Amino acid sequence: MNRTYVHGYEQKENIRLQDQAATLVELLHSDTVYPAGTRVLEAGCGVGAQTVTLARNSPQALITSVDIIEASVAEARKNMEAAGLRNVQFCQGDIFHLPFQPGSFDHLFICFVLEHLSRPVEALHALKELLKVGGTVTVIEGDHGSTYFYPDSEAARKAIHCQVHLQKRAGGNALIGRELYPLLSKAGFASIRVSPRMVYVDSSKPHLVEGFTEKTFTAMIEGVRDAALEAGIIDQPTFDQGIEDLYRTTQPDGVFCYTFFKAVAEKT
């Protein structure tokens, strides 16, 4: 299973992921609430950035969160304890070979995971086996191709494309958000409902200017600088201009747009 990450695992990155989670919680997660006693599998929990919200929104659900990387699972467990949440069990494991019986879960929750997989349909297939008939899957992904802004900037678009390119080279897909419907359809799920969750940012929303445009999106693109230059997919002046232009969109007359996609579907 190819699951090389573009995002890295440094402490700074963890803080960014936590910031991102805090800003976007309402937009992405407020409508995901699982009933008491239902068994929920979170596939690919990473350091638990979404797990805290998942556990808080469904305090009586029995959540199992797995990740392939042992260090991430350990960090997630720590974050959960720090948050005082007790309804999550963690376990290290590969999405394609999880140690659960078929039909073990009522619901699947998969957030910011498929974008990193080279075989997302097969992953959904494998996870569907663990879901009981009548159960639901919830998938949330971003789509970097949904990014546009004012003032527009070709350099900024090129810098963003570096991230898309590097993620593709690592076997992932940074444009996967728009694909949730066909992916779930190909994996055999039914009653697929996709809802876009657009983050629209202008200066009347300073928490999003800082929390999303600056600290989440631009920081992420800035984070691939060395890799992009090393890969020779952009020249340094263009990349740096692109980052400057992304920061420019945080000025009082700037606007920034990005769209996440959330899908819910059923196993029939």
| 30-38, 93-101, 132-140, 196-204 -> range binding its own copies (CB under 8 A) | 196-204
| 198, 206, 235, 236: which one binds its own copies (CB under 8 A) | 198
* Residue number, 54 or 140, with CB nearest to its own copies: 140
* Residue number, 2 or 195, with CB nearest to its own copies: 195
Phi, psi of 178 (to 5 degrees): -65, -15
| 34, 109, 112, 149: which one binds its own copies (CB under 8 A) | 149
Comparing C-alpha atoms, which of 87, 120, 111, 114 is closest to residue 24? 111
Q: How far is CA 64 from CA 89, 93, 147, 167, in A?
A: 5, 11, 33, 28
Check binding of 168 to its own copies (CB under 8 A).
no
Residue matched to tokens 């910011």: 112
| 121, 175, 227, 233: which one binds its own copies (CB under 8 A) | 175
Check binding of 142 to its own copies (CB under 8 A).
no
Pairing of strands 255-266, 131-150: antiparallel
Helices 236-248 and 154-169: crossing angle in degrees, nearest 10, is 110
* Contacts of 211 by beta carbon, 8 Å cutoff, 6+ apart: 19, 20, 22, 23
Count of residues of this chain found to bind its own copies when the rule CB under 8 A is applied: 30
Give yes or no for a contact between 78 and 90, defined as CB atoms under 8 angstroms apart. no
Binding mask 234-263 for its own copies (x = CB under 8 A): ------------------xxxx-x-x----
| 55-63, 97-105, 132-140, 193-201 -> range binding its own copies (CB under 8 A) | 193-201
| 89, 185, 236, 268: which one binds its own copies (CB under 8 A) | 185
Torsion sign (Cα): 115, 121, 126, 131:
positive
* Residue number, 52 or 176, with CB nearest to its own copies: 176
The span from the CA of 197 to the CA of 75, in Å, is 28
In the complex, minimum distance from the CB of residue 247 to its own copies, in angstroms, rounded to a whole number: 16
Using CB under 8 A as the criterion, which residues of the chain lie in contact with its own copies when the complex forms? 143, 145-146, 148-150, 152, 175, 178-179, 181-182, 185-186, 192-196, 198, 200, 202-204, 252-255, 257, 259
